[in-house]
Amino acid sequence: MGECLRKACPCLETLWQRIFSDKKASPGEGGVHGGSGGGGGGGGGFSSSGEVRQPSPSPAPTLERVPESGCIYTAIWPFESRHTDELSFQEGDLFSVISRSGDWWTARRIDKNGRVLDTGIVPSNYLARAESLEMQPWYFGTMNRFEAQSHLLGPGNDRGAFLIRHSEKDNVGYVLSVRSLNRVKHFKIHGDENIFYVEHNHQFSSLIDLVEHYSINTLTNTGTLGNPCKRKKPTTPDLNHFTVDEWELPKEEFTLEEELGTGYFADVYRGRWKNIINVAIKILKSDSELNHREFQREVQILKSLRHRHLIALFAVCTATTPYYIITELMEKGSLLSFLRSPEGQNQDIAALVDMGAQVADGMSYLEEKNSIHRDLAARNVLVGEDYICKVADFGLARVIKEPFYITEDKKIPYKWSAPEAISHGMFSNKSDVWSFGVLLYEITTHGGVPYPALSNQEVYEQVSRGYRMPAPAKCPDFLYKIMLKCWSAEPGDRPDFKSLKMQLDSSSYELD
């Protein structure tokens, strides 16, 4: 740990060397637990020459010091504890991590001398390695261009404000995003582990050197870099660490606010947990056996699935009816309503393609987990701050062991369903891919209704004969080709979600 703290706090090098160069006390040199002669502490006695030794002050209790093995983390944001086992801390506090368990870590908060102040559980996304790239005020980790734009165009950032991020797109790598008046420019950072450059004639051995250079030298058509972008405080992935494994919470801890929407078996409300965190509360409409099964099915699936582009389950309330499902709140509502709103109407094709890529990313995770959705549509995707899209509404989802899941369930969304799902009730990841093609149609038409003027039965008959929706107006050719591939008659001819995400990433009009 010493080496890590030296890098984090070079100004304390002298003090650090003095502290850790102290030798361990040898037997007879005293200590908290007593030594030889006149007992523990600082009692009087005689020196070897026979002189009276004056009593020394009682030593302060020995504080535990973190061993030099292991590394130091620092808090990037302040955090207020929500459970007795958790630690509150301030930005800049130092930590030594004891154990890592998911998104919540057990850590010691330490002072600049490495002495332990207290121990408890902390959210891991509030910490960064003290000597790492994440410690740089301008490095924002993995982020897409829309998140970067939202940060840079936010309050407190002027022209020249900048950040470096790692693109969500697999083939891009690091990106320098810079505010220029009321827009943001994105520059791909080329190179490898040892060379970094934006302009080929200016190459650097580190990102820090690159930033320092452009802080005093002009970047093409942009000027010099100004201040690092102001950070937005992150949300925790859970209400507190206790709810990671204990999902049941009393209803009294939640406050209901306005209704956000209604579904087949539940209504959704905005709410708050202990007046601390905004949440979405899904309330089961009735306690009928069918709805109870649907409720339990959705909870079990949500518990087992965690991904950046899937809605996160926080807790459930099932002690009394009606039952509650508590999830994260997505401020911009469903993707369908967003696309139809003035804000959604103003999104350019690059933004729309990125939204499709985010959905494909979440569905690729489901695919890896052998889970199918069965009702993928814009109405079941939620949009949050920074245009983050998350797949939601797992009421029809199934975890599958075989390539197909067969059902006699009649609640089939005809206009979004693959022919084999309608005719034989055969659902699979490839039937989800068909639905994704329809979702891309919804995205490119800003919330248009698929197969307009056709009834459910007419849609099935026409599609079975080979009919496919024509390309929407202003839909790029590459995107329509992806839709047609998703609508292949044979499930085996359809792409998987991993390749769909890669295609959408590489086909973007802009860098990122």
pLDDT digits (tens, 9 = 90+) for 4-51: 444 444 444 443 443 444 433 333 333 333 333 333 333 444 343 444
| Cβ contacts of 186 within 8 Å, gap of 6 or more | 145, 148, 175, 176, 177, 510, 511, 512
Decide if pLDDT at 161 tops 90: yes
Q: What is the pLDDT of residues 332-363, one digit of tens each?
A: 999 999 999 999 999 989 889 999 999 999 99
* φ, ψ (nearest 5 deg) of residue 103: -90, -5
Decide if pLDDT at 107 tops 80: yes
Whether 111 is a known active-site residue: answer no
Handedness of CA 309, 310, 311, 313 (dihedral sign): negative
| DSSP for residue 26 | P
177-186, 291-300, 468-477, range with the lowest pLDDT = 291-300
Average pLDDT across the chain, whole number: 82
Decide if pLDDT at 59 tops 50: no
Binding site listing for ATP? 282
- Looking at the DSSP bridge assignments, the partners of residue 129 are 73
The structure tokens listed for 70 are 């292991």
Decide if pLDDT at 479 tops 90: yes
- Residue 269: predicted pLDDT: 95
The structure tokens listed for 76 are 């990037």
pTM for this entry: 0.70
Q: 321 vs 506, which has greater pLDDT?
A: 321
Q: To the nearest whole percent, how much of the chain has pLDDT over 90? A: 47
Decide if pLDDT at 408 tops 70: no
How many other CB atoms are found less than 10 A from the CB of residue 342? 6
Residue type at 509? Y
Strands 313-317 and 116-123: what pairing?
A: unpaired
Q: 37 vs 459, which has greater pLDDT?
A: 459
- Residue 396: predicted pLDDT: 62
81-95, 198-212, 389-403, 417-431, range with the lowest pLDDT = 389-403
Q: What is the pLDDT of residues 109-135, one digit of tens each?
A: 998 777 889 999 999 999 987 767 777
What mean pLDDT is predicted for residues 131-145?
A: 83
Q: Give the chain's length.
A: 512
Long-range contacts of 261-266 (CB under 8 A, 24+ apart): 261/333, 261/334, 263/393, 263/395, 264/395, 264/411, 265/290, 265/291, 265/294, 265/295, 265/395, 266/295, 266/325, 266/395
Decide if pLDDT at 231 tops 70: yes
Q: Which residue has the tokens 């199918």?
A: 372
What mean pLDDT is predicted for residues 228-251?
A: 81
Where residue 271 falls among pLDDT bands split at 50, 70, 90?
Answer: very high
- Residue 509: predicted pLDDT: 54
**Per annotation, catalytic residue among 93, 361, 375, 512:** 375
Q: How far apart are CA 127 and CA 124, in angstroms?
A: 6
- Residue 60: predicted pLDDT: 45
- Helix/strand/coil for 113: coil
